[in-house]
Chain A
Amino acid sequence: MNSLIRNTARCLRSGAAVYMPRQADGRVWTSSARFLCAAADVQKALGDIVQKDKVVVFMKGTPAQPMCGFSNAVVQILRMHGVDDYASYNVLEDSELREGVKAFSNWPTIPQVYFSGEFVGGCDILLQMHQNGDLVEELKKCGISSSLLEAEKESK
């Protein structure tokens, strides 16, 4: 847990200084998708996006290079549970996406996490769910077995 906090603090400190745009892993909200310029289209696109993959994260930066401490925390928590293959969208690449997702989720901040098309919450909620065991349960409901469960089984 402490290393999570250290990593988050490190990311917060260095985040503003270095910004090298890089392709997100896998699914990408690219500039070519900008033909969706009307706000209503962004909302509809978001509706499709959150249904398309089991785990969807709207964040600042990418899982490989998060650009914000809270976004980094979400990435680290998911990684702890062995969830490495998920759809992530970098809101820093597109201000329409950034505003659109806030309106779509009716949630004021980034990062935002969706499981099976349902909004879960931001970093605070994910962290609390991780700490109280709810995250393992929610992942199970999506058909994802948390690697922390495996680790527990092995130690018994």
Chain B
Amino acid sequence: MAITADHIRDKLTKELAAVHVDVEDTSSNRCAASYKVLVVSSQFEGKPLLQRHRLVNTCLAEELKEIHAFEQKTLTPEQWEKQKSQ
């Protein structure tokens, strides 16, 4: 399976009903496949950080087997709006 930023973005958008997803391929900073993602979804409401990250991890379980480094930021739509206005 070829992991691409688009593939990751599509999967996250679909499975987490995300309103916004940013996927940055950071592989050039390291020697292997690495990604940095921002996911905005109302599914994160009321969930502590760890639970949110686990949701993302579960969604990308197959891909993560081959990804070397992974950074993620998970926000609710409300947090995302607040961040944008800062």
Contact = CB atoms under 8 A, between A and B. Distances in A.
A125 B61 CA distance: 19
Interface string A49-68: 00000000000000000000
Contacts, number: 34
Interface residues of A, number: 16
A70 B50 contact: no
Contacts of B2: none
Contacts of B73: 124, 128
Contacts of A70: 69, 71
B72 interface: yes
A114 to B, nearest CB: 12
Nearest to A120: B50
Interface string A116-147: 00011111110011000000000000000000
Contact of B49 (A106, A109, A123, A129): A129
Given A12-B29, A12-B30, A16-B31, A109 B70 contact: yes
A45 B72 CA distance: 29
- Chain B CB within 10 Å — which of A107, A108, A128 has the most? A108
7 contacts: A12-B29, A16-B31, A108-B64, A108-B65, A108-B70, A125-B53, A128-B49
